[in-house]
């Protein structure tokens, strides 16, 4: 691997001591890796530009991530850039690599910021890294004009300045205004205090709903069995085979078994359902009359 030999503590120092590649050497190494998969050429190319990765990683220290982790992520971005670099385009490798290094670092910072995913779209990423800076500038400019920006007005101006939806600004403001807390933390300083998780509503099925569901299912089963008794044997068999089996029978297979045409089986099925419906409706009216 191109980063073999580096440790967290020595990576920065060793990167700054690496050779500086001229354009011709850089191009030769890039061709060697792309066309021949020469790992020695890849190692030399990446090693020479680790100083660029380290320099960019240092710019993101204020987000609270470990410097060593930032450098490692920058190195991964550099390796992705080397793997995808096309020397035929006539662009210096450092120019191309900047985007991949920046993207790798920013993705890591956003993942590390919170257990909850902070954002995934380009507008949300732009807000995460630029909102506070733009907000400070807008407030400073308003103060110079003798104005005070209200919350909604400020958010609208940020959205317009960065070219992002207002909803994304409001979402990101909430995400950046607080940090993660454990649900097992107590609500008070007392050791036996209640944990925050204890006040969360249980989204599972409640006991009352379970009892009501079982009662309703039993009642419906009773009504259905009673309604099926109003059918003759052939009608009951057709309904059972067509609707009460895990693998319903086809009209054609039932017709062959009963010596009937497929159309005749369909007619008997429709008539049976109509008879069942009338019976169930009568039972429903009797229940409503009893309750009233």
The CATH-assigned architecture of domain 208-291 is Orthogonal Bundle (1.10)
Look at residue 147 in the predicted model and tell me its pLDDT. Answer: 84
pLDDT in tens, 228-266: 888 898 988 888 888 888 888 899 998 898 898 989 989
Q: Does the structure show a pLDDT above 60 at 4?
A: no
The residue extents of the domains of the chain are 11-113, 122-177, 208-291
Question: What tens digit of pLDDT does each residue of 26-39 get?
Answer: 999 999 999 999 99
**pLDDT, mean over the chain:** 80
Across the range 64-71, mean pLDDT stands at: 84
> Which are the contacts of 207, defined by CB distance < 8 A and separation ≥ 6?
none
pLDDT at position 290:
45
CA distance to 120, 219, 234, 255, 267, per residue, from 259 (Å): 63, 36, 12, 6, 14
**Most confidently modeled of 1-10, 87-96, 145-154, 198-207?**
87-96
Has residue 80 got a pLDDT over 90? yes
- CATH code matching the domain that covers 11-113, chosen among 1.10.3720.10, 3.30.420.270, 1.20.1600.10, 1.20.120.1810: 1.20.120.1810
pLDDT in tens, 114-168: 655 555 677 777 777 778 888 888 888 888 888 888 888 888 888 888 888 888 8
**Distance from C-alpha of 79 to C-alpha of 155, rounded to nearest angstrom:** 38
* Alpha-carbon distance values, 69 to 43, 53, 114, 198 (Å): 20, 12, 16, 36
């Amino acid at each position: 691997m191109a980063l073999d030999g580096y440790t967290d503590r020595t990576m920065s120092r060793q990167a700054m001591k690496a050779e500086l590649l001229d354009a011709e050497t850089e191009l030769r190494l890039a061709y060697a890796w792309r066309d021949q998969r020469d790992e020695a050429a890849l190692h030399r190319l990446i090693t020479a530009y680790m100083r660029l990765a380290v320099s960019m990683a240092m710019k993101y220290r204020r987000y609270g991530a470990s410097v060593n982790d930032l450098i490692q992520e920058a190195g991964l971005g550099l390796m992705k850039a080397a793997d995808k670099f096309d020397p035929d385009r006539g662009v210096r490798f450092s120019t191309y690599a900047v985007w991949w290094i920046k993207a790798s670092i920013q993705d890591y910072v956003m993942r590390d910021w919170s257990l909850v995913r902070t954002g995934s779209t380009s507008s949300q990423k732009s807000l995460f890294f630029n909102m506070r800076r733009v907000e400070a500038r807008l407030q400073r400019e308003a103060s110079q004009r003798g104005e005070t920006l209200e919350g909604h007005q400020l958010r609208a101006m940020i959205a317009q300045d960065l070219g992002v939806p207002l909803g994304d600004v409001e979402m990101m403001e909430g995400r950046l205004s607080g940090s993660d807390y454990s649900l097992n933390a107590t609500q008070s300083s007392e050791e036996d205090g209640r944990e925050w998780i204890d006040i969360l509503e249980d989204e599972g099925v409640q006991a009352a709903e379970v009892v009501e569901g079982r009662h309703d299912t039993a009642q419906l089963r009773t009504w259905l069995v009673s309604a099926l008794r109003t059918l003759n044997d052939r009608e009951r068999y057709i309904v059972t085979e067509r609707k009460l089996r895990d693998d319903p029978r086809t009209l054609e297979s039932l017709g062959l078994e009963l010596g009937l045409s497929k159309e005749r089986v369909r007619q008997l099925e429709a008539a049976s359902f109509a008879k069942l419906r009338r019976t169930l409706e009568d039972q429903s009216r009797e229940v409503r009359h009893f309750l009233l």
